[in-house]
Amino acid sequence: MSAEATTLTKAATARPEPAAPRATRRRRLGPGRAIPYGRAIGPLLLLAVWSAGSAAGFIDARNLSAPWTVVSTAGDLIAEGRLQSNLATSAERALLGLLFGTAAGVLLAIAAGLSRIGEGVIDGPVQIKRAIPSLALIPLLILWFGIGESMKVITIALGVFVPVYIHTHNGLRTIDGRYAELAETVGLSRTGFVRHVVLPGALPGFLLGMRFAVTAAWLSLVVVEQVNATSGIGYMMELARTYGQTDIIIVGLVVYGLLGLVSDALVRLVERKTLSWRRTLAG
Amino acid sequence: MATHTGGLTHARLADEGPAVRIEGLVRSFGDREILAGLELDIAAGEFVALLGRSGSGKSTLLRALAGLDHEVAGSGHLSAPADVSVVFQDARLLPWKRVLDNVVLGLTGPGARDRGRAALDEVGLAGREDAWPADLSGGEQQRVSLARSLVREPRLLLADEPFGALDALTRIRMHALLRRLCEAHRPAVLLVTHDVDEAIALADRVVVLDEGRIAADVRVDLPAPRGQGTQRYAALRAGLLRQLGVDQDGGAPVRADDVVTPVGG
């Protein structure tokens, strides 16, 4: 060790201040690491406030039944088999509507996204339809299709197809044009282009549309079941209103909420599995 | 066979003769003539570097050869082999396909995936078949795109500033890789670049494009390795730079025995 180095070391130890300036830690701008089960925090907090309010007597049971009353009512409804049969009817309507609406939305989006004629013919009417809430069409749909199942499924499908169309079409249109060039240079056919470039490229948009679509399906379901139905969760709630059974209404609401949450989680799961190639803030 | 607007014939060449033959090629955007009656032949297996300032028409020429210039007005005669492959400046990998699927994109038939694996091995990426493009470095992505081109065994390889976005060290490694691959597969190559050193390091022949015409056509016959220190290298470099409008003090003109066909001027 040289003499100079020794002096330097001495000088450093002599001073009490930090010898070397610490590297400045930058503030992280991304959201950071995911909290395990982080999505459950909000709903659990809500449940806690509700329970506390009911137990302390702040919430009148005639306005909002206590969580435990709702649970026991749900137990009774399940024991009687009413909840299951109504849920099955509701789920069937929602699924059928979702199926038809999604199929229509995707097919129209592809037709409008891949050809100028398709865009000219399809895009305008869809934008007009978008401006009219599906639920406002119910009177007309009842006149056309009666009050049976087909009217309900069609109403749901109409609510579903718009977000699927809008987001899939947007996804298609924002695919980088350079990928089309690449497809030409590697000699992809039209179908190969759709399969390898268009569909996977539009998938993020489609899945976003699906998340809106799932919500739209449940929303439309609630309305059609309360308008004119003799079965389903909405009918069960409407009947409970007549007899002032708040707890049954809450059971219905909780079921709707759970259905919405579960279906959204399903779409998110599919999103995570199929879009694992993306490197985004979501991680 | 594809007929373009403006009476351009675009023929596919037979297996013999030059890989590329361009006669009186005109391309214009609006009133601006980008290519003004360009003449160029590329022999089979020949490595040609195309130099030019920005806006000189390099990319337009390359896109014409690749058949990517839809709806561009033009005339002239252009013959290129059917099996053309393009390496773009951005690696242009489909982000939703794994590396091997990107390499074999558009290939059909049995053994395509095995050939894809072999091509990846050739560019030094064996074992990365299942990686996502987003997980590769820029140099690795460009090597995947080279593998994607090579697996097609093209007779003509078009490269549009393929190393422009890479750092200097990676670029040197990529130069060596490209030379090696071209020697192994012998495609005719048209490499568009604005880097004079890159052109000299790689090409058998350097063509300078200026205002839509060939301004210089120089055969590079420097002994390998092409050391940048030699006098002939310096002379060639200075001459090419002058053609590109960069005048360096003390630069010698392009030597007569280096010049094959000085056109225009």
Task: Give A166-179 pLDDT, tens digit per residue.
Answer: 999 999 988 888 99
Nearest CA in chain B to A203: B96
Domains and CATH numbers, chain A: 66-274 (1.10.3720.10)
Spell out the residues 6+ positions from residue A228 whose beta carbon is closer than 8 angstroms to its own.
A142, A147
Answer yes or no: do B106 and A184 touch at CB < 8 A: no
Do B63 and B73 sit in the same domain of this protein?
Answer: yes
Tell me whether residue B264 is in a domain: no
**Hey, is the C-beta of B29 within 8 angstroms of any chain A C-beta?**
no
Do B38 and B60 sit in the same domain of this protein?
Answer: yes
Question: CB-CB: which of A196, A275, A278 is closest to B94?
Answer: A196
Do B218 and B161 sit in the same domain of this protein?
Answer: yes
What are the angstrom distances between the C-alpha of A259 and each of A233, B91, B214?
A: 11, 44, 69
Q: Which candidate in B72, B105, B107, B144 is best for mutational testing of the A interface (most A CBs within 10 A)? A: B105
Do B77 and B96 sit in the same domain of this protein?
Answer: no
Task: Give B15-48 pLDDT, tens digit per residue.
Answer: 557 888 888 888 888 888 888 888 889 998 899 9
Distance, in Å, from the CA atom of A126 to the CA atom of A111, rounded to the nearest integer, reads 13
Tell me whether residue B263 is in a domain: no
Residue B1 confidence (pLDDT) above 50: no
- Complex ipTM more than 0.90, yes or no: no
Do B171 and B243 sit in the same domain of this protein?
Answer: yes
Confidence category of residue B63, pLDDT binned at 50, 70, 90: confident
Answer yes or no: do A277 and B95 touch at CB < 8 A: yes
What are the angstrom distances between the C-alpha of B128 and each of A200, B118, B139?
A: 21, 12, 14
Tell me whether residue B137 is in a domain: yes
**Hey, is the C-beta of B157 within 8 angstroms of any chain A C-beta?**
no
Tell me whether residue B42 is in a domain: yes
Residue A272 confidence (pLDDT) above 90: no
Question: CB-CB: which of A181, A185, A201 is closest to B85?
Answer: A185
Residue A101 confidence (pLDDT) above 50: yes
Q: Which of B68-77, B86-95, B153-162 has the lowest mean pLDDT?
A: B68-77
pLDDT at A108: 94
DSSP labels, B66-125:
HT--TT-EEEEEEE--S-EEEE-SS----TTS-HHHHHTTT--STTHHHHHHHHHHHTT-
pLDDT at A281: 57
Do B158 and B110 sit in the same domain of this protein?
Answer: no
Tell me the mean pLDDT in the region B52-66: 86
Instruction: With beta carbons less than 8 A apart as the criterion, state whether A85 and A255 touch.
Output: no
Question: CB-CB: which of B68, B94, B97 is closest to A181?
Answer: B68
pLDDT at B37: 86
Do B75 and B163 sit in the same domain of this protein?
Answer: yes
| Structural domain for B163, as ranges | 2-83+154-258
pLDDT at A5: 47
Residue A35 main-chain phi, psi, to 5 deg: -85, 135
Confidence category of residue B97, pLDDT binned at 50, 70, 90: very high
Tell me the mean pLDDT in the region B60-76: 83
Spell out the residues 6+ positions from residue B1 whose beta carbon is closer than 8 angstroms to its own.
B10, B11, B12
Q: Which of A5-14, A75-84, A99-108, B14-23 has the lowest mean pLDDT?
A: A5-14
Question: Which of B153, B176, B198 marks a domain boundary?
Answer: B153
Residue B248 confidence (pLDDT) above 80: no
Question: Which of B153, B181, B199 marks a domain boundary?
Answer: B153
- The total number of structural domains that make up chain B: 2
Tell me the mean pLDDT in the region A254-266: 88
